[in-house]
Amino acid sequence: MGKYLLRRLAINVVLVAIAASLAYLLAATTMNPRAAYEGRQPPVAEHVIDATLDAYNLNDKTPVLERYATWVSGVVTGDFGKTWNGGSVNDEMGRRIWVSLRLLLIGTVLGFVIGVALGALSAIRQYRFTDRFVGVSSFAIMAIPVFLMATLLAIATYNVNRGLGFTLIEYTGEYNPRLSGWDQLLNRVNHLILPTISLTLGSVAFYSRIQRNMMLDVLGQDFVRTAMAKGLRRRTALTKHALRTALIPSATYFAFAFGTMFTGAIFTEKIFAWHGMGAWLVDSIHQNDVNSVAAVTFFTAICVLTAAFLSDVLVAALDPRVRVS
Amino acid sequence: MSILQVRDLTVTFPGDIQAVRGVSYEVSRGEVLGIVGESGSGKSVTSLAIMGLLPRDAVVSGSVKLHDRELIGVDEDELVKVRGKSISMIFQDPLSAFTPVYTIGDQIAEAVRIHQKMAKDKAAKRAVELLDLVGIPHPDVRAKSFPHEFSGGMRQRAMIAMAIANDPDLLICDEPTTALDVTIQAQVLEVLKTAQRETGAGIVMITHDLGVIAGMADRVLVMYAGRPVEQGPVDELYYRPRMPYTMGLLASIPRIDGEEGPLVPIEGNPPSPAALPPGCPFAPRCPMRIDSCDEEEPPLTPIGGGRHVACIRSREIEHKGLTGADVFPVPVIPPSDVVRVPREQRPTVLELDGLVRHYPLMKGAVFKRRVGTVHAVDGISFDIAEGETLALVGESGCGKTTTLQQIMRLEPPQGGRVVVLGKDSAHLDRAARKSLRGDLQIVFQDPMAALDPRMPVGDIIAEPLRAHGHKDVAARVAELLSLVGLAPEHAERYPQRFSGGQRQRIGIARALALDPKLLVLDEPVSALDVSIQAGVINLLEKLKNTLGLSYLFVAHDLAVVRHLADRVAVMYLGKIAEIGAVANVYDRPAHPYTQALLSAIPLPDPEMERTRKRILLEGDLPSPADPPSGCRFRTRCPKFARLSEAERRRCVDEEPSVVRLASAADHGAACHYAEEIEVITASGDQEEK
Amino acid sequence: MRSKVVIGRLFRNRQARYGSIALILLVALAYIGPFLGSYDWTDKDFLAFLSPPSADHWWGTTTIGQDMYAVTLRGMQKSIIIGLLVALISTGLAAVVGAFAGYFGGWVDKFLMWGVDLLLVLPSFLIIAIISPRLRGATWLWFVVLLAAFAWMITSRVVRSMTLSLREREYVLAAVYMGIPRWKIIFRHIVPNLSSLLIIDATLNVSAAVIGEAALSFFGFGIQPPDVSLGTLIAEGSRNATGYPWLFAFPAGLLVLLVLSINLIGDGLRDALDPGSNS
Ligand code: SF4
Ligand code: SF4
């Protein structure tokens, strides 16, 4: 067991290193942070730009490999370097992770719970009205890409607010910094409503499809029949025996989603103007921010691998068949 | 007094598929009713209908009365009081019948608590008692295990424990031993008998195995195409069947006490429930069919002595005293020319010398790691002479399939030698290996899996021909198809269109395409229904004699082996326990394992079954990753148990090798205390003499 | 024979029937529709900037006077082509990589699966977003290759695990024992028997690629102007969707319909091809 974990850890470390390096090299060779300084009015002297860029390890006049070496020596000590305008990448990341988490936690959990419930229900009521309704709705929702859904929600809210003449539901930003205490908390909750809806709808649709399929697979199996042959009611047999078994695959997806939650939601964050990890990904590209790009990649790789590990652990915990005895 | 009364039960599935068409029977306290039928005869659907466990879209009509209470059409509140309390059911595949995520103990305790007001810990204790009752060692520890940690036999015992948890009046057993090995089957049947004694319940035993029924049942019901076609007391029905289907069925089973020679086949296949023939459903396959058989379906009519028959010619059968062998045409199989030469003078086609195959044992699906070495094949030797059939028999996990794969791979083995047609597999180059493959072909067990579903049959058979660069493929394919009894037009169809027996013939045709000298048969008939089996066995026999083939025949069914093989090698845990000519091994087995194996096989003969003495083995097969020291069989050997302390030492310390027995030319056993005895027909009284 | 059965079952499935009809209509609209309108997508009507739908400009005009009907259909053509190509490439790649990894095992498997893991770990959005604007001069086919390069990994894992079980199938063993070379076995016996999975996957990949393209274009990382796709049009339209809804509604609506119809077909195919599954 210990040996297995060590081997897996080693492989993962290598994967993360390669992924981050690839991203760094790609960004460092294709991006042009100089552009942000060159176009300034009044113009900045070239040697000043060079000095600034050198200080941030972003100077395209330095050979790529040299910059890479500097970057690596920083990363191994836990320092991801400077952003394009000299901020600390570490600080930026530390702040943004929590923004993403605050945004996503509720939606992720809610989406899973509602989705599983609806999926199980529609499997039990296969081909009846509930099933058809859930099925059609989830198909419709899955056909609407997140960015469209978020835009639609924002437009709708804008119109509602305008019609009412006051802001009923907030649709940009995380909170209003001018408020404090309970008001601020309420205001934060208000800001959460739209993004949470947009996130939840998608995952409800996703989980309900998965759970329905899994549940249908299990429903036809012998052990559900055995449970009823013992004298359990159909409903009890379904929840206690079928649902418990059919939950395993959805739960692993959930574990994965939970682990990657920290990497943010690109579209939701951008459209509702939350400055989380997802938005950073887009911003850093627009700003030619090489070190941030590399840091985001690094972080994403770690999250994905941790999430994969998490879901493996969860399978082992939920399913005695794969547990190591 | 009867516990259960079934009247005119019918079950129809959507699409007008009449799975059950009027079944009636009664079961009394302490009585065992056997229901026999082939797959698709509606025997399992009947029992699920009684329990009310069919899918909701099935339409059930007729009447099922338990203690005079109607069960058909009542709502769930009533049904749940009966299920698991008055009627319990034991399912065929005990692995899928347990919920994988709960422990066995919890699942049994749950069954207890549904019908009895009992505290959790008390129910858990009761579960342990029940497990003890069905003979599970260390029941308190094992109750905490999950279903996948149990062996097949143990799971079935646990299933029985769960079924008798609430002292039911009626036990319905649906193919309870089909998935199990014979020695385990014997154990489980014994447990069932105990369970019946404990509860005094009536039993409905559903199976396709006429041997199991002969030993268990008081009365028998034979089903065909969704209807009972014959019913009566077990002796009457077995010794004086009055309906051609029953007669054919009884005549077509190979028997371990039987003679060599062709079996009685029933031609054709059972009708599909969606397209039944107009009159007697058996008419298309019945050799006694007359025109009036097609007019209407003969009803099940009483003929006295508690017997019922659905055949318009049953009186005539009775008068003339006809049997299956009289009625069904038995094919004539030409004798083989090769065997006239004495065995020693014939060339050897296959020789195995100390073959070894070990592989790593991995554990955990997510956290994979190596936990040991499986000694799948641990030094086995035998040879096959031209024109001979050697059968390799043993229960699952004995290493017979691994042996076969090692031969077929034609690559250097881990240890020992494989010599095919004089060529050592360790010294083959690529070209030589490919040309040798033409001489060595295989027929697989599962006719569904052995043919690529995406290829028409013609291409399947042509594949080896093309791979070896043959010309005029189409003509050869047609020739091969007719050789195995199919029509050349069949080449254009896809495998799905064929029945199991036909597919197996296609598999045989493919194996014969390259004119092989040695054919490896991997359980070629075990997936087929009895009535189909006989035809395939006869075909194999005929092909061997006419084409001068040699067979290596891998099987677990010793009765089939007796019919087809010349010599037999019995394997246990990767070693050969006993080897020799069929007559020697069957009539005078010398190794305690062979003795137990032979005595465990039920005979389709009620009288013999009642008096036969069984050698029951204790426990399960040890793990091949950790075989016992010395003699591998010693943990279960009944003889070992009877030996003195000093004698036992030898079994523990010294591994026995196959030694030729003094009394016969071709007979050897790997036991320090080998002693030939007769077991197949041994009855309890004989033993006492 | 089998294909006839499948098609029959597909059309008996209501979802799939509606999906196919909708898809046929949409494709017809995209490719035949432009001939019916009176403007070409490159035409600019300097008399009508941002005019709402009218008899002349059916779906209104854009900020620079392009006919929205012509532009949207042009964008849809591009989205459909991109979807199809990406699906084809990525599913093909997934099949080959998965089947080889599963069938050969050993170091081939290790190496290929390692590559899969690496690609899974890389944030695909980010990589594509960095590269694609740099392809401005090059053909949009590069963009297709990029999208496909990040879309095949999950399927290839599924293919691999199914190959692992197919490998032990008796008909595959039979082929081995006949002396048929291994790569031939893969293409003759393994891949065809995965066709249900692959067809379903390819269908669903079409809609995933359409969405992926739109999403990237939404941020300006996808199809580059002057070329248009549904994604670029939606991005443009969403900026002033309240004032000029026709700029947003038509491309967005068509995108949703397109994805929905493909998903319906994919789900129907699953039912028709795989009688065992109830999904
Ligand atoms: S009724 Fe006729 S066809 Fe049917 S079993 Fe009797 S003799 Fe045969
Ligand atoms: S050697 Fe000993 S333990 Fe083994 S079979 Fe013979 S008597 Fe039994």
The answer to whether C165 faces chain B, any CB pair under 8 Å, is: no
Mean pLDDT, consecutive 10-residue segments, chain C of 279 residues? Answer: 66 81 89 79 72 74 78 88 92 93 90 89 83 73 87 89 87 90 90 85 87 85 80 82 78 90 84 53
pLDDT digits (tens, 9 = 90+) for A216-225: 888 888 899 9
- The answer to the question of residue A33 being in a domain is no
Residue, of A181 and A98, whose pLDDT is higher: A98
Rounded (to 5) percent helix, strand, coil in chain A: 75, 0, 25
Which candidate from A222, A231, A320 shows the least CB-CB separation from B85? A231
Q: Does residue A325 register a pLDDT over 60?
A: no
Nearest atom, ligand 2, residue B592 CA: 5
Between the alpha carbon of residue B576 and those of residues B399, B556, B632, the distances in Å are 10, 14, 11
The residue whose C-alpha atom lies closest to atom 2 belonging to ligand 2 is: B651
pLDDT tier, B350 (very low <50, low <70, confident <90, very high otherwise): very high
Of A3, A223, A316, the CB nearest to B97: A223
Residue A8: inside a domain: no
Q: How many residues does chain B have?
A: 689
Which residue in A219, A226, A239, A243 has the most chain B C-beta atoms within 10 A of its own C-beta, making it the best mutation to test that interface? A226
**Residue B378 and residue B372: Cα distance in Å, rounded?**
15
Nearest ligand for residue B592 CA: 2
Contact B192/B61 with Cβ under 8 angstroms?
A: no
**B103-118 confidence digits (pLDDT tens):** 999 999 999 999 998 8
Closest in C175, C179, C193 to B434, CB measured: C179
Provide the percentage of residues in chain B whose pLDDT is more than 70.
97
A235's tokens: 């409903």
A269-273, A307-311, B633-637: which is most confident: B633-637
Question: How many whole angstroms separate alpha carbon A120 and alpha carbon A131?
Answer: 10
Asked whether the beta carbons of residue B468 and residue C179 sit closer than 8 angstroms, the reply is yes
A320 touching B, CB under 8 A?
yes
Assign a CATH topology to domain B2-217.
Answer: Rossmann fold (3.40.50)
Q: Which of B438, B454, B460 sits opposite C192 (nearest CB)?
A: B454
- The average pLDDT across B420-437 equals 90
**How high is the pLDDT of residue A227?**
92
Q: Is C1 on the interface with B (CB under 8 A)?
A: yes
Domain of residue A210, residue span: 97-322
In single-letter form, the type of residue at position C217 comes to: S
Mean pLDDT of A255-275: 83
Which of B229, B242, B246, B288, when mutated, tests ligand 1's pocket best, judged by the most ligand atoms within 8 Å of its CB?
A: B288
B9-23: pLDDT as tens digits: 999 988 888 889 989
Q: Decide whether any atom of ligand 1 lies within 6 Å of the B564 Cβ.
A: no
User: With contacts defined as CB-CB under 8 Å, which chain C residues touch B438?
Assistant: 179
Number of domains in chain A: 1
Q: Which domains does chain C have, with CATH numbers?
A: 59-264 (1.10.3720.10)
B653 within 8 A of B571, measured Cβ to Cβ: no
Cα of B330 from ligand 1 centre, angstroms = 19
As a whole-number percent, the residues of chain A with pLDDT over 70 amount to: 98
Kindly state whether residue A59 falls inside one of the protein's structural domains.
no
Helical H runs in chain C? Answer: 2-12, 14-36, 68-104, 106-121, 124-131, 141-149, 153-167, 170-178, 182-185, 191-193, 195-218, 230-239, 245-273
Superfamily for B338-576?
P-loop containing nucleotide triphosphate hydrolases (3.40.50.300)
The pair of structure tokens assigned to A156 is 């709708």
The DSSP string of B383-424 is EEETT-EEEEE--TTSSHHHHHHHHHHTS--SEEEEEETTEE
Cα B24 to ligand 1 centroid, rounded to whole Å: 20
Q: Please state, in angstroms and rounded to a whole number, the distance separating the CA atoms of residues A89 and B18.
A: 72
Instruction: Give the model confidence (pLDDT) of A184-218 as tens digits.
Output: 888 888 888 888 998 899 899 999 988 988 888 88
Q: Which of B84, B111, B366 sits opposite A315 (nearest CB)?
A: B366
Distance CA A105, CA C150 (A): 27
pLDDT tens track for C13-58: 777 888 889 899 998 888 887 787 777 777 777 776 777 777 777 7
Find, among C86, C247, C243, the residue nearest to C155 by Cα. Answer: C86
* CA dihedral of A154, A159, A163, A166, whole degrees rounded to 10: 30
Tell me the CATH number at A283.
1.10.3720.10
User: Reduced to 3 DSSP states, what percent helix, strand and coil does chain B have, rounded to the nearest 5?
Assistant: 35, 25, 40
User: What average pLDDT does range B632-637 have in this prediction?
Assistant: 91
| Cα–Cα distance for residue pair A51/A58, rounded to 1 Å | 10
Question: Quick check: CB of B312 below 6 Å from ligand 1?
Answer: yes
By mean pLDDT, which of A297-301, B200-204, B680-684, C235-239 is the weakest?
B680-684
B222 lines ligand 1 (CB under 6 A): no
Q: Residue B391 above 90 pLDDT?
A: yes
CA distance A90 to A80: 6
Q: What is the mean pLDDT of residues A100-125?
A: 91
Q: What is the pLDDT of residue A184?
A: 83
Average pLDDT over residues B54-76: 88
Q: Which atom of ligand 2 is nearest to the CA of B634?
A: 3
Q: What is the CA radius of gyration of chain B?
A: 26
Q: pLDDT over 90 for what percent of chain B?
A: 39
Q: Which residue has the tokens 């294909």?
A: C3
Q: Angle at the Cα of A78 (from A77 to A83), degrees rounded to 5? A: 120
Element (H, E) at B249: helix B244-252
- The reply to whether A131 falls in a domain is yes
The answer to whether residue A24 is domain-embedded is no
Within a domain: residue A58? Answer: no
Look over chain B and give the mean of its residue pLDDT values, rounded to a whole number.
88
Q: Do C1 and B454 touch (CB under 8 A)?
A: no
pLDDT at B366: 63
Strands B307-309 and B227-233, bridge-based pairing: antiparallel
Provide the residue type at A56 as one letter: Y
Total-model pTM: 0.84
pLDDT of C36: 79
Report the DSSP beta bridge partners of residue B522: B554
Give domain status of residue A246, yes or no. Answer: yes
**Within a domain: A6:** no
Do B162 and A230 contact (CB within 8 A), yes or no? yes
| Strands B550-555 and B518-522, sheet pairing | parallel
Residues 168-197 of C with CB under 8 A from B: 169-171, 173-175, 177-180, 189, 192-193, 195
CATH 3.40.50.300 boundaries in chain B: 2-217, 338-576
Q: Do B99 and A245 touch (CB under 8 A)?
A: yes
Q: What is the pLDDT of residues B219-260, one digit of tens each?
A: 999 999 999 999 999 999 999 999 999 999 888 888 887 766
Q: What is the pLDDT of residue A1?
A: 63
Which pLDDT belongs to residue A179?
A: 78
Q: Which amino acid is at B524?
A: P
Which residues from C are below 8 Å from A when comparing CB atoms? 15, 117-118, 120-123, 125-127, 129-131, 134, 207, 211, 214-215, 218-219, 221, 234, 238, 241-242, 248, 252, 255-257, 259-260, 263-264, 267, 277-279
Q: How confident is the model at residue B506 (pLDDT cuts 50, 70, 90)?
A: very high
Which 8-state DSSP code applies to residue B29? T
Measure in Å the smallest separation between the Cα of B61 and chain A Cα atoms. Answer: 20
Q: How close is the nearest chain A Cα to the Cα of C259, in Å?
A: 5
Task: Tell me what pLDDT residue B530 has.
Answer: 82
State yes or no: pLDDT of B218 exceeds 90.
yes
